[in-house]
Amino acid sequence: MTVSFKTHLAGLLVVLFSPAAVAMNVFACEPEWAVLARSLGGSAVQVVTLGDQTPAFRPRPGGFAAVRATDLVVCSRDARPGSGLLRLLQRSDNRGALPGEPGFFNPRDSIPAGGAAGASATRDPAIHLDPRNIMRVARSLTGRLVVLDPDNAEIYKRGALAFFHRWRAAMSKWEAQARPLRDTAVVLDRPDWQHLSNWLGLRPLGPLQHRAAVPPSLHRLSRLLEQATDQPDAIVIQTAHAPQQASAWLANRASLRIAHLPDSVNPADDEPLITLFYTLIERLSNPQTQ
Amino acid sequence: MNFELLLLPSLAGLLVLLMIVPLGRIVVDQGIVFVDLAIAAVAGIGALAAQFAGYSDIWVLRAAATAAALLAGLLLAWCHGRFPASRQAAGGAVFALASAAGLLLLDQQPQADVHPFALLIGDLLWTTPQMLWPAAVVTLCVLTGLIAGQLRLAADSVAARLLFFLLLALAVNSAVQIAGVLLVFASLVLPALAVRGAGAAAGITLALLVGIAGFAGGLLGSLYIDLPAAGLIVACLGAAALLCGGLRALIAPSRDAAG
């Protein structure tokens, strides 16, 4: 009994005073990057999020305090002047975490912007819906963690290696599972979901909405309806956090099937990022008839 | 072009106009246009509260919204009689408080798939035949009630006041579910402004024509140009109201000045 108590105490002291116990504070705007930072940093990082996934991004006072205390901000959303994110960063008065500083990491900078789809793809915030992008972001995020916290470099490198290993294995499974989906016509309910259809080789018939907050016109609906009547196997994609009336209307009118897709990870899952892609492919493969 | 797409939205628009425009004349004359927003906001709280309590059936949510709207109608009717000088402000106050309560409720329920924009700038495009029947019943109630109440809000009669506010609550709640707050507010105010001072029968006919011109122009426009229907309908309503008001001023300037 005493021996085991002593070893426990020794273990506790090691945890308390080893460098790994001094966690680096990471603030992530989006839940997918919070999960990624946790997988890479393990015990060396302490990750906080706002839990606000809406595009409008209205941070509460708690958000200012969290950003002020952070060593690294990881945000893929818009950080241009006037955006909610930039206001949050400026108001938090953490100079090291402003865009351009080492303490600010935009996952979108890790994605090559080229080719015909490049222009729209760089504007599309949903880069995490292509697992190849997750791989790219993981690589450069590891590099940034090592730069900011060289004492724990070993932990980050080990975390990254383990992550890459699991991710490659999962990716080959997903690609095999999703092969029948290639060239399936889909109607997206929002303008910014290019990355998922690029990866899976889906054929988008054009989004229902061309701007996130503006409802579609009758003109657009009528055109999509005409296109959809030639493609009875097309799938209408309903995403979380988007109004569902238009997609439900189109699916009903054209007798199309609906796939209801999550737009990010569920942090309560065991391996949230891996579960996300299994869920996406599973729901796309089994769309619901209305 | 797919004209068949216009059928259900046009029918829905006609019902909204029939129930809202006659009430709009009274609302504008009394200077209480905010009561519409107030009722819509309280109805929204009713639906949210029902969701909060765990209900998700659309008919339960609608019943909760209707009940909340009728309560708001009672409250506003009481304010109208009790504080005659603060009528306009009372509507605005109820609107602000109810919207705030709705925001707080929504925050407590992140899984609720209520998109705030969908409620605010809803349009008629998603109308289903099942939605038209309750709206038609409400329209009948409103028109019967208004004709029975002689299209007037008698300030001295408690019964007339109560009847008016309950009908307004029923109509606004039903119309907002089909057309969204923006369209209902525009239908309530713009046609009524265009025919201010006109006699009862002529005024209502003219106001309905303004409304029909706006809805038809907006829906047709949205079919030909790639623009959202709600915005175009309100723009066309505004143009039709301006045109009607201008013509009336040209034909009978004195009458318009009296209104």
Query: Measuring CA to CA, which residue among B19, B22, B15, B20 is closest to residue B205?
Result: B22
Looking at the structure, tell me whether residues A55 and A81 fall in a common domain: yes
| B59 touching A (Cβ < 8 Å) | no
List B residues 214-253 in contact with A (Cβ-Cβ < 8 A).
219, 222-230
pLDDT for the residue A257: 95
Instruction: Count how many domains chain B has.
Output: 1
CB-CB under 8 Å, A240 with B2: no
Q: How confident is the model at residue B205 (pLDDT cuts 50, 70, 90)?
A: very high
Residue A290 lies in a domain: no
pLDDT tens readout for residues A234-262: 999 998 877 788 888 999 989 999 999 99
Residue A130 lies in a domain: yes
Indicate which CATH number applies to the domain containing B161. Answer: 1.10.3470.10
pLDDT for the residue A82: 77
| B36 touching A (Cβ < 8 Å) | no
φ/ψ region of A241 (left if φ > 0, alpha if ψ in -120 to 50, else beta) reads left
Residue A85 lies in a domain: yes
The mean predicted confidence, pLDDT, of chain A is 84
Single out the residue in A129, A151, A174 at which a domain terminates. Answer: A174
Query: Measuring CA to CA, which residue among A285, A277, A265 is closest to residue A169?
Result: A277
Nearest chain A residue to B113 by CA distance is: A241
Q: Which of these ranges, A184-193, B65-74, B202-211, has the smallest mean pLDDT?
A: A184-193
Using alpha carbons, list the distances in angstroms from residue A279 to A126, A164, A260, A286, B150: 16, 20, 10, 11, 60
Distance, C-alpha A199 to centroid of its chain: 15
Sheet holding A104-105, edge to edge: A45-49, A24-28, A72-74, A104-105
Looking at the structure, tell me whether residues A23 and A165 fall in a common domain: yes
Question: Does A275 have pLDDT greater than 90?
Answer: yes
Single out the residue in A174, A205, A227 at which a domain terminates. Answer: A174
Looking at the structure, tell me whether residues A234 and A195 fall in a common domain: yes
Higher pLDDT, A270 or A144: A144
pLDDT for the residue B113: 52
User: Which residues, in sequence order, are CB contacts of A197 under 8 Å at separation 6+?
Assistant: A186, A188, A203, A204
CB-CB under 8 Å, A243 with B115: yes
Single out the residue in A116, A142, A174 at which a domain terminates. Answer: A174
Looking at the structure, tell me whether residues A125 and A231 fall in a common domain: no
Question: Does A58 have pLDDT greater than 80?
Answer: no
The mean predicted confidence, pLDDT, of chain B is 87
Backbone angles phi, psi at B138, to 5 degrees: -65, -40
Indicate which CATH number applies to the domain containing A196. Answer: 3.40.50.1980
Residue A277 lies in a domain: yes
Closest CB from B9, B123, B225 relative to A215: B123
CB-CB under 8 Å, A219 with B224: yes
Looking at the structure, tell me whether residues A164 and A54 fall in a common domain: yes
Q: Give CA–CA dist B29/B207, Å, rounded.
A: 14
Sheet holding A257-261, edge to edge: A203-204, A185-188, A235-239, A257-261
Using alpha carbons, list the distances in angstroms from residue A273 to A37, A268, B20: 11, 11, 50
CB-CB under 8 Å, B2 with A225: yes
pLDDT for the residue B48: 85
Looking at the structure, tell me whether residues A126 and A212 fall in a common domain: no
CB-CB under 8 Å, B224 with A215: no
Q: Give CA–CA dist B199/A209, Å, rounded.
A: 44
Question: Does A55 have pLDDT greater than 50?
Answer: no
| A229 touching B (Cβ < 8 Å) | no
Closest CB from B5, B123, B227 relative to A222: B5
Question: Does A51 have pLDDT greater than 90?
Answer: no
- State the amino acid at position A142 in one-letter form: T
Looking at the structure, tell me whether residues A36 and A127 fall in a common domain: yes
Quote the domain boundaries for residue A205: 179-285
| B4 touching A (Cβ < 8 Å) | no
pLDDT for the residue A246: 87
Quote the domain boundaries for residue B85: 3-258
A-B interface: how many C-beta pairs under 8 angstroms? 62
Residue A190 lies in a domain: yes
Residue A164 lies in a domain: yes
Residue A276 lies in a domain: yes
Distance, C-alpha A17 to centroid of its chain: 34
Looking at the structure, tell me whether residues A169 and A183 fall in a common domain: no
pLDDT for the residue A118: 46
Instruction: Count how many domains chain A has.
Output: 2
| B8 touching A (Cβ < 8 Å) | no
Q: Give CA–CA dist A118/B237, Å, rounded.
A: 42
Residue A4 lies in a domain: no
Quick check: A198 and A250 in contact, CB under 8 A?
no
Q: How confident is the model at residue A96 (pLDDT cuts 50, 70, 90)?
A: confident
Tell me what the mean pLDDT of segment A57-80 comes to: 80
Residue linked to tokens 């509460």: A60
CA angle (A267, A268, A270) in 5-degree steps: 95
CA distance B109 to chain A (A): 12
Backbone angles phi, psi at B60, to 5 degrees: -65, -45
A245 interaction partners in chain B (CB closer than 8 Å): 118, 122, 125-126
For an interface test with B, which of A211, A218, A263 has the most B Cβ atoms less than 10 Å from its Cβ? A218
- H-run or E-run covering A79: none
Tell me what the mean pLDDT of segment B109-117 comes to: 53
Closest CB from A218, A226, A244 relative to B125: A218
| B113 touching A (Cβ < 8 Å) | yes
CB-CB under 8 Å, A218 with B223: yes
Looking at the structure, tell me whether residues A61 and A117 fall in a common domain: yes
CA distance A253 to chain B (A): 10
Q: How confident is the model at residue A267 (pLDDT cuts 50, 70, 90)?
A: confident
Percent of chain A with pLDDT over 70: 85
- State the amino acid at position A204 in one-letter form: P
B110 interaction partners in chain A (CB closer than 8 Å): 51
Query: Measuring CA to CA, which residue among A115, A114, A61, A68 is closest to residue A92?
Result: A68
Looking at the structure, tell me whether residues A84 and A224 fall in a common domain: no
A213 interaction partners in chain B (CB closer than 8 Å): 117
Higher pLDDT, A141 or B48: A141
Tell me what the mean pLDDT of segment A4-33 comes to: 64
